Amino acid sequence: MAGLSLRSVKKSFGDVEVVHGVDLEIVDREFVVFVGPSGCGKSTLLRMIAGLEDITAGEIAIDGRVVNELDPKDRDIAMVFQDYALYPHMTVFENMAFSLRYRGIERGEIRRRVDEAARILDIEPYIARMPRQLSGGQRQRVAMGRAIVRDPKVFLFDEPLSNLDAKLRVQMRTEIKRLRERVATTTIYVTHDQVEAMTLADRIVILNHGRIEQIGTPEDVYDRPASTFVAGFIGAPPMNLLPATALPAERLSGARRPPQDLLVGVRPEHLVWAAGETPLIEGNASVVEPLGSDTLVSLDVAGQALVVRLPPRIVRRRGEAVRLTADPANLHFFDRTTGIRQTQ
Amino acid sequence: MRRSPGSPAHWPRHVIMIVVCFLMLVPFYWVIKTSLTGENIYAWPPRIIPVDPHLFNYVDVWYMIPFARYLLNSVIVTAMAIAGSLLFNVAAGYALTRHFPGRRWIVVLLLSCMLIPFQATIIPAYLVTSWLGVLDTWLGVALPLLSTIICIFIFKASFEAVPPSLIDAARVDGLGEWRIVTRILLPLSKSAIATNVILTFIWSWNSFLWPLIAIRSPDMQTLPLGLARFLSVMEDTTGALFAFVVLVLIPGLAIFLMAQKEFIRGLTSGATKG
Ligand SMILES: Nc1ncnc2c1ncn2[C@@H]1O[C@H](COP(=O)(O)OP(=O)(O)O)[C@@H](O)[C@H]1O
Ligand SMILES: [Mg+2]
């Protein structure tokens, strides 16, 4: 069990810098999720922590000890890969026991640890099978079992669920969450799926183009996105972003700067039907998508599509007039050119 | 539903295959038959069934030349070639899957060297072998086959077909480079190993020109050299010659039959893995 520090970590492949100076402190037993679009450098960062990629500049420390020059095997980390990376020529048991054999652990202890992990993960019946005889979900469990038996200082997960179908993915997500209660090891979990990030993380690190956009708890990044990028990435459907000039000036009381410099952000679920009062936004529904529990309505405002989450049956078909308002506390302001949040 | 192999719709295909098999096996049959009868191969009409088969030709071969000694030489040289080529080809093939400066140039160099026939390099090969002081030894005969470019590329292709995450996982699990090769890559490259073994066996077992040059002492000769010498001491050669050929063939057939499944997969794996 250990903390982990990244200090100005950079990575270049040849002349191309793909990670531009990342600083991060992770405390003991914390579950941190790296989230960001494909190609933003999540895996590269994780692989540097694992020791599978050289660190171009900066420092990585695990449990207070700088590991830049250490081989993966000496870093006391365990990693779960997107494609599971089970050894196809070994049984489930051998896969899980494999790393322990090279660490001088005696047979009885290996047996005990593997059995324990198999029990936790519900894979006892498959212990003698070969990986090709398992389903995707079972392979994923074995891959996690292989990490658990090691009892490492840090777990690293690289998009462990993205090869599973949607239903299994949700199921495994819950399972990982449950596993957290029993195996409270420091974890870094990489995903491009913001729902996974929100549901699993103690803290989320949002990456974009090899830089950290924001670090915070799921509530933080949802309630106070640091940039338009975060606003657009966290939440589904994402936050609506409009030029402040498209809204009536007297309603922008939170803004400290002239409307022409600002973008206003408002989440689909924070726009409410304006029954009596003057609306903040008016328009005609262009798309109506009933989801049962609520309805997503799109409308055009100042030439931009705006999405609203309304209770069912308020708007029924396209073309209907939509009148919306929002609590001023739920309006977010961003600099129009840099996209950075304007504090209020 | 698939038809079972015995169903009527299969018989034309089976007839064709039986005819082809028959045509391919006739020469082998002829060799064995002649070795048992000593019948002149120009005899007309040829006899299909051997008349009065006997093993005297085999006895001749065994006693008229030091057959056992030649066999021992061939076996040792071939075993050295197989062991050495596995070691060096695996190591080189693995190296070529890693990134290092100049890797591309080495690949190009190796590929272009493949185009040069061995006969063209035989004088430098002789000089190198002589300089190493291993002329007229088993090692000297095995030396040119201790690494073969085509097998290096067969191993390279086979290793590259292993998902990179498997190697990453092995590294995280605590394996060094040699153990990654021996515990992960080689168990997943059985076809490449079989291909390397069979090809090296065939090349070494049948090699004539190089042993002829590298060997001087009579008791260091390998079987193909022995065959040449044998022909020069025999008068009526037919039966004994064919008996000799059969004795030379048997070990090769045995190895091939044992490894053929993996061998065929190794040669064709490029086609399926892309
Ligand atoms: N081995 C490599 N060589 C060159 N470029 C690479 C290599 N690995 C990753 N990259 C580049 O680094 C960037 C980040 O990749 P990656 O960390 O895999 O992204 P993510 O996991 O967030 O999708 C991408 O632009 C990718 O093309
Ligand atoms: Mg990735």
The answer to whether the Cβ–Cβ distance between B174 and A103 falls below 8 Å is yes
- Write down all domains in chain B, each with its CATH number in brackets: 1-54 (no CATH), 61-268 (1.10.3720.10)
Candidate from A81, A98, A146 with C-beta closest to B165: A81
CA nearest ligand 1 atom 8, residue? A44
CA of A96 to the centre of ligand 2 (A): 24
> Going by DSSP bridges, is the β-strand pair A240-243/A332-335 parallel, antiparallel, or unpaired?
unpaired
- Verify whether the Cβ–Cβ distance A85 to B187 is below 8 Å: no
Q: Do A77 and B168 touch (CB under 8 A)?
A: no
Is some CB atom of chain B closer than 8 A to the CB atom of A89?
yes
**Beta strand pairing call for A186-191 and A154-158:** parallel
Are the Cβ atoms of B166 and A87 closer than 8 angstroms?
Answer: yes
CA angle A37, A39, A44 (to 5 degrees): 115
Predicted pLDDT of residue B40: 75
Using the 8-state DSSP alphabet, how is residue A341 labeled? Answer: B
Residue A106 neighbours by CB under 8 Å, 6+ apart: none
A83 at B interface, C-beta within 8 A: yes
- Please write down the HEC assignment for all residues of A56-113: CEEEEEECCEECCCCCHHHCCEEEECCCCCCCCCCCHHHHHHHHHHCCCCCHHHHHHH
Q: Is the CB of A13 under 6 A from ligand 1?
A: yes
Amino acid at A18: V
Q: State whether the beta carbon of A253 lies less than 6 angstroms from ligand 1.
A: no
Q: Whose CA is nearest to atom 7 of ligand 1?
A: A13
Q: How far away is chain A from the Cα of B162, in angstroms, using its nearest Cα?
A: 10
Q: Which residues contact B44 (CB under 8 A, 6 or more apart)?
A: none
C-alpha count within 13 angstroms, C-beta hemisphere, residue A337: 2
The identity of residue B106, as a single letter, is I
- Distance from the alpha carbon of residue A39 to the mean position of ligand 1, in angstroms: 6
Please judge whether B187 and A82 are an interchain contact, meaning their C-beta atoms are less than 8 angstroms apart: no
Contact at CB, A81 and B184, closer than 8 angstroms: no
Tens-level pLDDT at each residue, chain A (344 residues): 589 999 999 999 999 999 999 999 999 999 999 999 999 999 999 999 999 999 999 999 999 999 999 999 999 999 999 999 999 999 999 999 999 998 889 999 999 999 999 999 999 999 999 999 999 999 999 999 999 999 999 999 999 999 999 999 999 999 999 988 888 899 999 999 999 999 999 999 999 999 999 999 999 999 999 999 999 999 989 999 999 988 888 888 777 888 888 999 999 999 999 887 788 888 899 999 999 999 999 998 888 889 999 999 888 888 888 999 999 899 999 999 999 998 75
A77: which strand partners? A154
pLDDT the model gives residue B271: 43
Return the pLDDT at B52: 82
Specify the residue with its C-alpha closest to ligand 1, atom 20: A39
Angle formed by the axes of helices B238-273 and B223-233, nearest 10°: 150
Task: Please give the Cα distance from A344 to A335 (Å, whole number).
Answer: 12
d(CA A217, CA A200): 10
- Mean pLDDT by groups of 10 residues along chain B of 274 residues: 61 91 90 84 77 85 86 95 97 94 94 91 94 95 94 96 95 93 94 91 93 92 88 74 87 80 63 37
User: Hunting for tokens 């120009």 — which residue is that?
Assistant: B42
Instruction: Quote the pLDDT of residue B274.
Output: 31
Task: Give CA–CA dist B203/A154, Å, rounded.
Answer: 52
Q: How far is the CA of B255 from the centre of ligand 1 (A)?
A: 46
For residue B101, what pLDDT is reported?
A: 93
What is the Cα–Cα distance from A87 to B169, expressed in whole angstroms? Answer: 9
Cα separations (Å) of B148 from B93, B131, B144, B197?
A: 11, 21, 8, 11
Interchain proximity B172–A50, CB inside 8 Å = yes
Terminal Cα-to-Cα distance of chain B (whole angstroms): 30
Q: What is the pLDDT of residues A204-237, one digit of tens each?
A: 999 999 999 999 999 999 999 999 999 999 998 9
For a substitution probing ligand 1, which of A10, A38, A43, A233 has the most ligand atoms within 8 Å of its CB?
A: A43
Contact with chain B for residue A250, Cβ under 8 A: no
Q: For residue A40, report the distance from its CA to the centre of ligand 1, in Å.
A: 7
- Tell me if A187 CB under 6 Å of ligand 1: no
- Show Cβ contacts of residue B98 under 8 Å, excluding neighbours closer than 6 positions: none
Chain A CB within 8 Å of residue B101 CB: no
Q: d(Cα A166, Cα A143) in Å, to the nearest integer?
A: 19
Q: Is B168 on the interface with A (CB under 8 A)?
A: yes
Report the nearest-CA residue for atom 2 of ligand 1. A13
Q: Which amino acid is at A119?
A: R
Q: How far apart are the first and last CA of chain A?
A: 39
Does B166 sit within 8 Å of A50, measured CB to CB? no
Query: Which pLDDT belongs to residue A344?
Result: 58
Distance from the CA of A16 to the center of ligand 1, in angstroms? Answer: 10
User: Closest ligand 1 atom, CA of A207?
Assistant: 22
Q: By C-alpha distance, which of B269, B202, B261, B253 is closest to B28? A: B253
Please tell me if residue A50 touches chain B, with a CB cutoff of 8 Å. Answer: yes
- Which residues 6+ apart lie within 8 Å of B89 measured at CB? B147, B148, B151, B152, B154, B155, B196
Those residues whose beta carbon sits under 5 angstroms from the ion ligand 2 are: A 43
